């Protein structure tokens, strides 16, 4: 039998110390599509609703004399306000009001920190690119594993959770977000394909208001001459400024299709609005 002896005088090689356990990285939870949509709706309301109200007041003050460039200017100004808001509050350590309420924030795609101001600007522009592609840019968020939409790729960003949410809060956000998302999709479809675009409604409404002015001149003509007339030139002379009246008529009504039909004590005015579809508009004394 062989006996193994240990010489206690010889230094013993210490056993290697166990490697320290790797620090566990905190788990990152990405914002869901419904949470992001809820935040966007809130931010939309913060910027667009007051701006659109102000634009509507400006259009009412200007009246029928409003020029197309003025409408375009108001539209551009509203959208520049949204871009500025998104750029400032999506960069640095800031968050927009909508994202703060929902509990999410924009960070770099590698999760190393907040995105820069130029990146935030590109991200804000990406919203409009997504919308111009018939909202297809937003649909990417349904298929990307981190729920990134096209504007996130523009800004090199992802959207993450910044606070814990209870089961009830998560459920309500998903439920409400889904309902609002479906309503938004239907509204967008109606605007693009259902003829409900804002500009078209504006031109039609302006044409109807002009027919109402012509009807008032018809009543003035009857009071002065005892009968209605189908001569627009005679009516323009009663306006006080026939040249401006003719200009307003040409501005809001299509040059074809205008007709005044008079029959005894009644009349009917028909015309075509100067929108893309030349929508028929009418006014009748009955």
Name beta bridge partners: 30.
Answer: 160
Q: Is 278 left (phi over 0), alpha (psi -120 to 50) or beta?
A: left
Flag the least confident range among 53-57, 200-204, 276-280: 200-204
Q: In this model, does residue 41 exceed pLDDT 80? A: yes
Q: Which tens digit of pLDDT belongs to each residue from 203-214? A: 888 889 999 999
**pLDDT tier, 75 (very low <50, low <70, confident <90, very high otherwise):** confident
Per-residue confidence band for 49, with pLDDT thresholds at 50, 70 and 90: confident
What mean pLDDT, rounded, does the chain reach? Answer: 83
pLDDT category of residue 121 using cuts at 50, 70 and 90: very high
């Amino acid at each position: 039998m062989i006996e193994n002896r240990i010489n206690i005088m010889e230094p013993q090689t210490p056993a290697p110390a166990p490697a320290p356990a790797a620090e566990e990285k905190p788990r990152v939870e990405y914002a869901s599509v419904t949470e992001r949509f809820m935040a966007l709706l809130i931010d939309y309301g913060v910027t667009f609703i007051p701006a659109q109200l102000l634009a509507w007041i400006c259009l009412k003050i200007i009246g029928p004399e409003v020029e197309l460039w003025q409408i375009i200017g108001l539209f551009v100004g509203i959208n520049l306000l949204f871009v500025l808001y998104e750029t400032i509050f999506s960069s640095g350590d800031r968050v927009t009001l909508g994202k703060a309420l929902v509990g999410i924030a924009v960070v770099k795609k590698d999760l190393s920190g907040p995105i820069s101001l130029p990146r935030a600007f590109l991200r804000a522009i990406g919203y409009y690119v997504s919308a111009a592609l018939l909202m297809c840019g937003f649909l990417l968020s349904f298929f990307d594993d981190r729920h990134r939409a096209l504007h996130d790729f523009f800004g090199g960003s992802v959207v993450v959770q910044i606070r814990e949410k209870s089961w009830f809060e998560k459920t309500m956000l998903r439920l409400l977000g889904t309902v609002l998302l479906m309503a938004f999709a239907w509204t967008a479809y109606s605007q693009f394909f259902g003829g409900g675009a804002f500009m078209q409604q504006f031109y039609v409404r302006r044409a109807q208001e002009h027919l109402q002015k012509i009807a008032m001149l018809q009543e003035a003509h009857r009071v002065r001459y005892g009968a209605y007339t189908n001569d627009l030139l005679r009516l323009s002379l009663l306006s006080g400024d026939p040249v401006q009246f003719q200009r307003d008529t040409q501005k809001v009504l299509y040059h074809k299709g205008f007709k005044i039909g008079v029959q005894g004590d009644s009349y009917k005015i028909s015309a075509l609005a100067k929108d893309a579809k030349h929508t028929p508009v009418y006014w009748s004394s009955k």
